[in-house]
Amino acid sequence: MFSIIQAAGWPIWPLIICSVLGLALVIERFVSLKKDKIVPPQLLDEAIMVSRNGIPGPDVVTQLEQNSVLGEVLATGFRTLNSNPRASEDDLRSSLEGAGRQAAAKLQRYLGAIATIASAAPLLGLLGTVIGMIEIFGSQAGDGGMGTSPGGGNPTQLAHGISIALYNTAFGLIVAIPALIFWRYFRGMVDGYLLSMELASERFARHLLSLRK
């Protein structure tokens, strides 16, 4: 492996940094986007059941808030009515929407960085390719001295330039393709979570409004 890095030259180091960073971000998103941490299946029903006879106390609300991302959104509805029992429907929905936007920002964290790596890696590979081409052209401008071919080119420098061009092109694609795949996968996962949270918030808002009647 080290011999490949040596053959690829210094342009491969930014790609190695991107690959390590991308792998760390992918692992972090896999851990953070587990369903139980975002939208536990029975949480909405449990929150509705707990509040059938009225808004629960602060301890229950705090426990709900710490349960998951959806729990944070639902707890916002409870806190809104606790602070202002006469809150209008618009105020209640506005507070839930604000909590939903915060939840969306939390779910989309680091996805932009993964997308940037997917976009930048091929360009970094192209940079290495260009540098390799410069090495190749430089090898063809030999001075005809010792170590040069009869045609004036330096075979060692020519081989080194080809190695830089090919290794960087390949490594750029190796980094970019998985990053793009995982970015699209996480985007689809987040969109699904946000839809589930939106539907749950709408149902929960109707439930809270019915408590005031």
- Inter-helix orientation angle 69-83/43-50, to 10°: 20
The reported pLDDT for the residue numbered 104 is 95
Query: CA 174, CA 125: separation in Å to the nearest integer?
Result: 10
Query: CA 197, CA 213: separation in Å to the nearest integer?
Result: 25
The reported pLDDT for the residue numbered 131 is 83
Predicted TM-score of the model (pTM)? 0.81
Query: CA 107, CA 37: separation in Å to the nearest integer?
Result: 11
| Alpha helices, H only, the chain | 2-8, 12-32, 35-38, 43-50, 58-65, 69-83, 89-107, 111-139, 155-211
Q: How far is CA 190 from the centre of its chain?
A: 10
Closest CA to 4 of 130, 126, 13, 118: 13
**Is the separation of the CB atoms in 60 and 48 below 8 Å?**
no
Q: Which residue has the tokens 């915060």?
A: 102
Low-confidence spans in the chain with pLDDT less than 70: 1-9, 138-154, 160, 212-213
Distances in Å between the Cα of 41 and the Cα atoms of 45, 52, 70, 182, 193 are 9, 19, 10, 24, 11
